[in-house]
Structure 1
Amino acid sequence: MVDRANKPKTLSSTPSLPPQASVTFSEDNSRVTAELPTGESVEVLLYGATVLSWKDAAGDEKLWLSEAAKLDGSRAVRGGIPVVFPVFGTAPDHPQTKSLPQHGFARTSRWEFLGKSTSESMVGRAANELTVKLDFGLSSAAPGLDPTAAASWPFKFNLIYSVTLNRESLTTSIVATNDGAAPFDCQVLMHTYLRVKDITTVEITGLANAPYHDKVDAANPSKTQPASGPLTISAETDRVYTPVEDAVTVTEGGKPKFRVTRDNLSNVVVWNPWTEKAQGIADFAPKDGFRQMLCVEPGAVGAWQSVEGGDAFEGAQTITLLD
């Protein structure tokens, strides 16, 4: 065989794409799990579009979920990140939402999974990070809508809820669009249960000088957080803050643990049921679990958000790991 003088060199292999996130469904299609190639993961229950789990690369859980939480669609999930819409708590004096159950119907409806986006398909900064975004939808015409909602809140709406995971943070965002002609009022909140090791060693900063409504002290509900010193938890706490700063930092044992940043959400609810209240909550388990959890809940609940026909309300939180 004669050698060819201009024999072509061996073709180099086509560069492979970097590893991307994987998205899987549970066998019964009730949950969606996304995992980055580096090990970080998030799990979302379609019932309520509730984030059930968020783990770092080492597999350490960052959210608290009650051991007695109902995950079968029979009631709202106790723990994780439930979505509150269109009312926070109950509002018996508000004409549009007075008939709705506590915290509305978003957390008790089955959402539709709309798809995923990964860093491969994203632009800008996200394209250079390991990122996965899961989108969920709920509308006034959706088959999974809580049946009480249509009768109690007869507005045409469309909700898009996105859960974005990267190596150091988790972002949850919502867009609530009014698809009808009549304006509606709404409140939005991300009811985030953060997992801590010992609530007695936790300090919360970023609330200095913030006015707040104390839901535990009915006789003196209107207060202001002192300018100096962090907030600590040593009893039942249920407060609706209107912070001056955009971010709240949770420190445990003197070490920064979480930073919760808000986008177009003017309020932060800080909640821990403590001993007596936890005993009275049927799906709160273990009963001393309040020692391992802290709710820091960004929301727009201090006032009603009026959404005109064709307009939308948008809000988001980003929880960044600091330890």
Structure 2
Amino acid sequence: MVGRPNRPSALSATPGLAPQPQVTFSDDNSRVSAVLPTGESVTVLLYGATVTSWTDATGAEKLWLSSAAHLDGTKAVRGGIPLVFPVFGTAPDHAQTGKLPQHGFARTSRWEFLGKSTSESAGGSGAADLTAKLDFGLSAAGLDEAARKLWPFAFNLIYSVNLNRESLTTSLVVTNDDDKAFDCQVLMHTYLRVKDISNVEVLGLESAEYVDKVDGAKTKTQAAAVTITGETDRVYTPAGEAVTVVEGGKKTYSVTRDNLSNVVVWNPWTDKAAGMGDFEPKDGYKNMLCIEPGSVSGWQSLEPGDAYEGAQTITYYS
């Protein structure tokens, strides 16, 4: 071959696409995981569309998951981010949801994986700014017969889990596909992992009213930062959108709500943890704090064709 001094460079030297997020299924197709090129990851169990893991680039876990959690589809998952719909707790006096089990059926139904997408976060470029979005769906057709009898409405849920380098966003869209109105409540039961609950403060709830479910559902007002010194189960209605978790004087997480009016703060403490068979280790309450954005102090009433959307964004600080 005659040499050409100005011949094109070899194809292998041509710049290619930046590394892309990788999305994989488990061997038994029970869960889907996304990993960013920079190492952050999220795993979602199709049973309940439950986020069971969220790690940073070093592999450090941000969510608390009980070592005795049921991950085989036999029971709602203890830990991670279970979804509450269409009722928070139980509502025996509510005509439409009064017969449903605690926290409804979303967390105990198998969801359909609808697909993935990737994008570049605002203001950035390259692999370090890529995000991965996973979408899941559940409709009346996906419920078991018992659940359909207890809540006989046509509906559609789209749940999106969006992973980027410093944060995780989960959003739920509820659509009424029925010919009659229905009421619903929504909550994202997020278990954050902390090092030592005795060193934790929650900011952003000062001056907010809350219902203290440990003290006879009395309505109270938060005077200062929230600290956890015993069993805690409170439904706050704060004015601001963001709640900050501080541990040992250092900001660890912020949780920002979008169109979700309430924040539940929950920790079972010693006695309640001991009484839950799927809560392990029993002293695990020292390493978790539930900050749960939701719309649960009243009802979202959706007319036929109406939709409701709520979301949370959890940001961690290294």
TM-score with structure 2 length normalisation? 0.95
Matched pairs, number = 314
Deviation of 1:12 after TM superposition, in Å, equals 6.6
Query: Could you tell me which residue of structure 1 aligns to residue 274 of structure 2?
Result: 279
Counterpart of 1:255 (choices 250, 257, 282) is: 250
Distance 1:100 1:125 in 2: 45
Distance 1:116 1:105 in 2: 24
Work out whether residues 260 and 319 of structure 1, in 8 Å CA contact, stay in contact via their aligned partners in 2: yes
Letter paired with 1:223: K
Distance 1:20 1:242 in 2: 40
Letter paired with 1:108: T
Deviation of 1:207 after TM superposition, in Å, equals 0.2
1:222 correspondence with 2:207: no
Distance 2:81 2:298 in 1: 22
Distance 2:146 2:219 in 1: 33
Distance 1:253 1:132 in 2: 32
Deviation digits for residues 146-178 of structure 1, max 9, x if unmatched? Answer: 432200000000000000000000000000000
Query: Could you tell me which residue of structure 2 aligns to residue 289 of structure 1?
Result: 284
Alpha carbons of 1:44 and 1:250: their partners in 2 closer, same or farther (altered >3 Å)? same
Alpha carbons of 1:125 and 1:30: their partners in 2 closer, same or farther (altered >3 Å)? farther
Instruction: Trace 1:13-32 onto structure 2 (pairs within 5 A).
Output: 13=11, 14-32=14-32
Deviation larger for 14-23 or 176-185: 14-23
Residue aligned with 2:257, SS: strand
Work out whether residues 66 and 78 of structure 2, in 8 Å CA contact, stay in contact via their aligned partners in 1: yes
Equivalent pairs: percent with the same residue?
Answer: 69
Query: Could you tell me which residue of structure 2 aligns to residue 162 of structure 1?
Result: 160
Alpha carbons of 1:26 and 1:244: their partners in 2 closer, same or farther (altered >3 Å)? same
Query: Could you tell me which residue of structure 2 aligns to residue 58 of structure 1?
Result: 58
1:312 correspondence with 2:310: no
Residue aligned with 2:210, SS: strand
Distance 1:199 1:126 in 2: 35
Query: Could you tell me which residue of structure 2 aligns to residue 237 of structure 1?
Result: 232
Distance 1:249 1:2 in 2: 68
Deviation digits for residues 253-290 of structure 1, max 9, x if unmatched? Answer: 11000000000000000000000111111111111100
Deviation of 1:11 after TM superposition, in Å, equals 4.5
Distance 1:148 1:95 in 2: 17
Distance 2:123 2:171 in 1: 18
Distance 2:193 2:144 in 1: 29
1:174 correspondence with 2:172: yes
Distance 1:159 1:279 in 2: 34
Counterpart of 1:195 (choices 185, 193, 196) is: 193
Work out whether residues 193 and 293 of structure 1, in 8 Å CA contact, stay in contact via their aligned partners in 2: yes
Letter paired with 2:191: Y
Distance 1:267 1:2 in 2: 75
Counterpart of 1:186 (choices 184, 187, 194) is: 184
Deviation of 1:125 after TM superposition, in Å, equals 5.7
Work out whether residues 121 and 130 of structure 2, in 8 Å CA contact, stay in contact via their aligned partners in 1: no
Distance 2:2 2:89 in 1: 85
Letter paired with 2:27: E
Distance 2:138 2:2 in 1: 70
Deviation of 1:15 after TM superposition, in Å, equals 2.7
Distance 2:122 2:218 in 1: 45
TM-score with structure 1 length normalisation? 0.94
Letter paired with 2:290: C
Distance 1:174 1:318 in 2: 12
Contiguous gaps of at least 5 residues in structure 1: none
Contiguous gaps of at least 5 residues in structure 2: none
Letter paired with 2:265: V
Residue aligned with 1:276, SS: helix
Letter paired with 2:23: V
Work out whether residues 264 and 294 of structure 2, in 8 Å CA contact, stay in contact via their aligned partners in 1: yes
Distance 1:23 1:277 in 2: 37
Deviation larger for 7-16 or 234-243: 7-16
RMSD: 1.7
List structure 1 segments (4+ residues) > 6 angstroms apart after TM superposition: 1-4
Alpha carbons of 1:299 and 1:125: their partners in 2 closer, same or farther (altered >3 Å)? farther
Letter paired with 1:267: N
Instruction: Trace 1:66-77 onto structure 2 (pairs within 5 A).
Output: 66-77=66-77
Deviation of 1:183 after TM superposition, in Å, equals 0.7
Residue aligned with 2:141, SS: coil
Work out whether residues 108 and 146 of structure 1, in 8 Å CA contact, stay in contact via their aligned partners in 2: no
